[in-house]
Amino acid sequence: MKRALLLALAIVFLFTFVLAGCGAKTSINPTAKDESTAEKTSAPDASKAPDTKTIITDYKESPYFGGKGLPPVKDRLPKEPKITNEMPEDQLNYEIGTYGGTLRMVSYAVDFDKDVFCGSYESFLNTPGLLGKEITGNILKGYEVSADQKEFTLHMREGLKWSDGTPVTSKDVQFAIDDVLFNKELTPIFPNWLRSGGDASGTPLKFTVVDDFTFKFAFDKPYGGFVMSMTNQSFRGCTDLLKPSTYLKKYHKKYNTDTVALEAEIKAAKFKPGEWVKLFTDKDITTWEVTGAKSIGFPVLCPWLYTKKTENTAEFERNPYYFKVDKAGNQLPYIDKIISTYVQDLEVANMKLIAGEVDFNREIATMSKMPIYKENEARGGYKVYMLDLHTSSSDVFLNLTFKNDNWRKVVQDERFRKALNLAINHKEIIDTIYFGFAEPSTFMDTTYDVAAANKLLDEMGMVKGADGFRKGPDGKKFTIPFEVQPETPDIIPVTELFVEQWKVLGLDVTMKTIDTTLWGTRDAANELQATMLWQDIGLWYEGFWGQQFWCPLWVNYFNSGGKLGEKPPADIQKMFELNKKIATEKPEDARIAATGVRAEFKAHNWYFTHLSNVKQPMIANAKIGNVAEKGFAMAVAFSMEQFFFKK
């Protein structure tokens, strides 16, 4: 959670560079796996979107709703429901499921379950498997993009409803934009991703309502990547742009003009008189808050609703107005309820996994426990899946803009970084920490040559002192002081290996473990010289290459138009400009730019992504169907509405 929040905050300051799905006013019919009828949709590669459609006229629902006085299921669904397609067909042989059952989950975070969060996630558009290879409708039925990549026409699903049965229309988008985003009291810093080019200096979007189910976004500069930003990018969901206006207006001073009534709401929420902004913010549940107790009673578009909290559990039950169906017309989700149990200790959580007391878990399952997971697989009635990790696992960052001249002279020398790269023993790391479930990096040169590394350090004049350690330009022992947080189980042991491997070069390498809060504080203050963390490089459309850790002052300069930070050298500036094209160019050019960014990193060793194709263990009840056995483990968690218990 803390890591996710850290990244979410970083997005406010960092540029967002993503691959786009766009076309020149092109309407493309999605595949049968996508929608119930042909829709106007653009894809990154139009040639891969066949012209097919599926027509469904008969809809079915779970017996769970029997006798609850709800309207017929066909009246609770949109006129054109979304046919679920969270996983690509080449990654999942989808089965039509059966209704019923309770999915048991476990979490060690207070008031937050990462896997339930993934299963509850909904965005305007989606990219199956989180791959970024195609863009399909989701909450939105489809979209069109102008030839100049400046105007986006979005089509909503007529008949879509919030979980309380209230219709979802363009007015909910208008409320989110005009009354929240452009209200400086509620949104003092306008989001970068809603500015032209995703740039902090860009002009905010212009919004126009066309009719009850159609609206437009316009930018004054080409912004091809905007379409991708409405999918799974940064896991922001739809809540920036779509809010249940009927529910929230009573907490907004523009609409609740009854001062006495508004003050009564403020008092009931235990805020001070006049603090309507705090009240509204508290009542407005965002994507990251749907698994928190505050979301009880809030209208959402998720497959399950938070309905009950106890001391150690959070209970969710199916949303009667959920907008997705399978190809047979069955309203999803198949599973009726989720119960997430909170435990304070990670070891206790793993004991519950091993005992078969958890039906699905991706977040807690760890590589270090693989032997014991497999040993208890049959007894626990679960299956261990080895899928792809959507992130890098344990990247190494040397802060090239840390404010110390001696440090900078060394780490900004490309020969130094190349020497360190040559001294990484990938095989040792893979065999020792990852049990062979990883491969050497495709992101950088993986040659292992300690002699060549020593030669480069000699050329730099980093001579060894009497103590055997190499000296920096100041004539003193040069130290690489790692400060790491135990964010994931592999970070500390992998850092320990790096310490030993780089000490062979005569470098003084140290490691200190600090807690997550202190780590975040030191990182924000540019006080970390060397650290280790994962990055979302598996989701390449995110555009994150660790810049916030290896060159924060250069990033600040670029993002602020030269007002903050420090001016980067020419090669870094080139990389920044190339990366920016991923957000602004048409798809084929954006792909070329993304490839170019990777090539630049490989050439310069700006940071160390030493592994590729790292696997992530995932555990699921052996009786659960529609659990993909390949692809990103994270993507499988996103597809939970497709899960069902086999009879």
Distance CA 606, CA 480 (A): 16
Q: What is the pLDDT of residue 40?
A: 37
- Provide the 3-class DSSP secondary structure of residue 342: strand
Amino acid residing at 207: F
221 found inside a domain: yes
For the segment 448-474, the average pLDDT, to the nearest whole number, is 97
232 found inside a domain: yes
158 found inside a domain: yes
Query: Residue 253 to residues 186, 258, 260, 313, 534: CA-CA distances in angstroms?
Result: 11, 9, 11, 35, 42
Distance CA 138, CA 412 (A): 45
The residue out of 230, 265, 295 marking a domain boundary is 295
Neighbours of 501 (CB within 10 A): 19
For residue 542, pLDDT over 80 is answered with no
For residue 604, pLDDT over 80 is answered with yes
Q: Where are the alpha helices (DSSP H) in 237-366?
A: 245-248, 259-268, 276-283, 346-354
Do residue 448 and residue 565 come from a single domain?
Answer: yes
126 found inside a domain: yes
Do residue 290 and residue 439 come from a single domain?
Answer: no
Q: Which domain holds residue 183?
A: 2-58+69-243+284-295
Amino acid residing at 317: E
pTM score of the predicted model: 0.84
636 found inside a domain: no
452 found inside a domain: yes
575-579, 580-584, 613-617, 618-622: segment of lowest average pLDDT: 580-584
- Beta-strand ranges (E) seen in 345-478 are 360-361, 382-388, 395-398, 439-440
What phi and psi values does residue 56 have, to the nearest 5 degrees? -120, 130
204 found inside a domain: yes
Q: Tens digit of pLDDT for each residue in 66-85? A: 888 999 999 999 999 999 99
In the DSSP assignment, the letter for residue 31 is P
Do residue 289 and residue 434 come from a single domain?
Answer: no
Amino acid residing at 464: K
Name beta bridge partners: 338: 103, 316
CATH of the domain at 100: 3.90.76.10
Give residues with Cβ within 8 angstroms of 243, minimum separation 6. Answer: 172, 175, 176, 180, 284
Q: Tens digit of pLDDT for each residue in 336-391? A: 999 999 998 888 999 999 999 999 999 889 888 889 999 999 999 999 999 998 88
- The DSSP secondary structure of 127-148, one letter per residue, reads -GGG-SS--EESSEEEEEE-TT
For the segment 534-554, the average pLDDT, to the nearest whole number, is 83
Distance CA 115, CA 487 (A): 17
64 found inside a domain: no
Do residue 289 and residue 432 come from a single domain?
Answer: no
Do 291 and 120 touch, CB atoms closer than 8 A?
A: yes
Do residue 456 and residue 600 come from a single domain?
Answer: yes
With tokens 């905010």, the residue in question is: 204
Do residue 16 and residue 161 come from a single domain?
Answer: yes
Neighbours of 404 (CB within 10 A): 13
Number of domains in the chain: 2
For residue 586, pLDDT over 90 is answered with no
For the segment 511-516, the average pLDDT, to the nearest whole number, is 93
Burial of 481: CB neighbours in 10 Å, binned 0-12, 13-18, 19+: middle
Do residue 604 and residue 472 come from a single domain?
Answer: yes
Q: Tens digit of pLDDT for each residue in 293-326? A: 999 999 999 999 999 999 999 999 999 999 999 9
Do residue 407 and residue 289 come from a single domain?
Answer: no
CATH of the domain at 597: 3.10.105.10
